[in-house]
Chains A and B, each alone.
Chain A
Amino acid sequence: MSISLDEVRHVAKLARLEMGEADLVALQSELNALLGHFQDINAIDVTGCQPKPHAVPRQNVWADDEPVFGLPREAALQNAAAAKAGLFLVPTIIED
């Protein structure tokens, strides 16, 4: 299991990371080292083990449907790069 340079480029693009060619190559070898670790895990015999979606053995952790007040709007907008009329401001979005 290994990752190609093109795949690294693609993943970077999906993560909105702008990276130079040298950084991509460096990242490729780091990711491949990580994947190598998974290969080690793959070598373990897990016959008879059920796949688990979570490491903690708990399920059905739910809350009742009872509304509570969250944050005042001023607080919610406090960290916004820009805000106007109670809205978070973002660059113009042309599609839908």
Chain B
Amino acid sequence: MANYVLSVGMEVHAELLTESKMFCRCQVAFGGEPNSRVCPVCLGLPGALPVPNKHAIELVMKTALALNCTIARDSVFHRKNYFYPDLPKGYQISQYGETNPIGYHGWIDIPTEGGKTKRIKIARVHLEEDTGKLMHLPGGGSGVDLNRAGVPLMEIVTAFPPDIESPEEAKEYGERLRQLLVYLGVCDGKMEEGSMRAEPNPSVRPEGSETYGVKTELKNLGSFRSVFGGVEFERNRQIAVLEEGGEVYQETRGWNEDTQASYVMRVKESENDYRYFPCPDLMPMHFDDAMIERVRATIGELPIAKWQRYQSEFGLSEYDAGVLTAERPWAEFFEACVREGADPKAACNWMNSDFARLLNETGQSVVAHEGRTLSRVTPKHIAELTTLIANGTINGKIGKQVFGDMFESGHMPKAIVEAAGLTQVSDTGQVDTWAAEVCAENPDVIEKYRNGQTNVIGFLVGQLMKKSQGRANPQLAQEAIRKALGE
């Protein structure tokens, strides 16, 4: 069998986080009664005139800048003509052409194995409108809900020839893009609700072949795990077809999550059949330096830059920096802790262990959203806690107890420590007394120690800590036990 090379182009659609639709001012929301957010424009009624949503244009420009694109100085909307019941006007307003879309010729770096990155080139970032939703009715026929029709939709398309060459890279690209869009606040990234949709176009060709193979377009991928599965399945399917002397057809294929297999949905119409032309209802757009710079200023530090800075500036591991920067609110919380005076490493440890676990268990969050309640723990709490440990007021074990308390009550760690008398005991006289008591109470253990079982020291130190109700300075406790044993 010949060796085959996989190439994957990716089209990603993202619904923009605007309040109103793209060309009318109907509200944008998820769910709700069907056809409750519609008007003459998004119903495609005769005579209705579209007016573009300025904020949507800015969000696409923001994304395009973050993806290192060139911003078109002049850009227009086109009509993409086709008939489908979820498209009331008989055309979709979109953007056609190589350098007409708001952003073009960009790139994003994705991490690959061994701490390396790979650059994935982006052909264009353009703005269009979403279609309505079609649903099958139990008694036959289909129903159309146009609440989604006209919702601002951004399309991000990778460049040809494609840089993505494996199912892993396809998944990584999608995940990184999702992270970026959520970071930028342009899309909520919810694939399960369809607000972000990834459509890979895999093709295979024999190694060494100059021409690319026929690609198929995968749809209905509900997660990036499915992107991985779908691309892997298509690669194997296409290779098997070619090996049997068959032909790969350019077609749209759906992905069946249950069977983990793709199936034919439709043979794709050729591009010419869409008869793109500039939409005469819409005025051309011109973007000047002032607008571009104003939008650029809203971007802020991107996740990959944060990830690198946390390692170089705070000495965090690749992994820890990755966990902290995965979501923007989490990264911002961490940065606020550092601003409040927390030791970065210590703050990182508390956040990624106890804090993350408690938030998870209680369904809380560091930002109030989507039914998650806001945690009482603020960056000030973390900073004060790490300081109490760093200056020896309490030890790490008590720190855990204090963390649990402040998570529940919202009280400041210092107040908790004072109220409960949890300060660390570093008075050697007191610790020595406890050591002597522990030895006196455990003659059998001392006997074992005398017989050479030196590992019982751990047990004795543990007893001392228990006696001190966890407050003894662990270092001193260790020393006191050794001293009492005559070491």
Contact = CB atoms under 8 A, between A and B. Distances in A.
Interface of A: 14, 16, 53-54, 56, 58-71, 73, 76-77, 84-93, 95-96
A63 B24 CA distance: 9
B20 interface: yes
22 contacts: A14-B81, A59-B284, A59-B286, A60-B285, A61-B52, A62-B52, A62-B53, A63-B52, A63-B53, A66-B20, A66-B25, A68-B20, A69-B27, A70-B38, A73-B33, A85-B34, A86-B36, A88-B146, A89-B143, A89-B144, A90-B85, A96-B252
B35 interface: yes
Contacts, number: 132
A71 B39 contact: yes
B283 A58 contact: yes
A53 B76 CA distance: 7
A56 B35 CA distance: 34
A49 to B, nearest CB: 15
A68 B28 CA distance: 10
Interface of A is mostly: loop
B140 interface: yes
A14 B140 CA distance: 27
A70 B54 contact: no
Interface string B19-61: 1100011111000011111111011000000011111110000
B32 to A, nearest CB: 10
Nearest to B37: A70
B76 to A, nearest CB: 5
Contact of B51 (A61, A84, A91): A61
Nearest to A87: B143
Contacts of B410: none
B87 to A, nearest CB: 11
A78 to B, nearest CB: 11
A16 B83 CA distance: 8
A96 B39 contact: no
A87 B265 contact: no
- Identify which of B55, B141, B273 gathers the most chain A CB atoms within 10 Å of its CB: B141
A91 B137 CA distance: 10
B393 interface: no
Contacts of A63: 25, 51-54
Interface in B363-388: none
Contacts of A16: 83
Nearest to B55: A65
Interface string B143-168: 11110000000000000000000000
A70 B286 contact: no
B53 A67 contact: no
Contact of B278 (A54, A66, A69): A54
A92 B134 CA distance: 10
Contacts of B466: none
A95 B34 contact: no
B219 A96 contact: yes
A59 B52 CA distance: 11
B33 A86 contact: yes
Contacts of B283: 54, 56, 58-61
B142 A89 contact: yes
Contact of A68 (B25, B52, B282): B25
B430 to A, nearest CB: 65
Contact of A95 (B20, B140, B265, B285): B265
Given A53-B76, A90-B141, A67 B278 contact: no
B144 to A, nearest CB: 4
Nearest to A62: B54
Contact of B142 (A14, A64, A86, A92): A92
A76 B38 contact: yes
B448 interface: no
Contact of B53 (A65, A76, A88, A90): A65
B482 interface: no
A51 B353 CA distance: 61
A5 B83 CA distance: 23
A61 to B, nearest CB: 4
Contact of B56 (A65, A69, A86): A65
B223 interface: no
B254 interface: yes
B339 interface: no
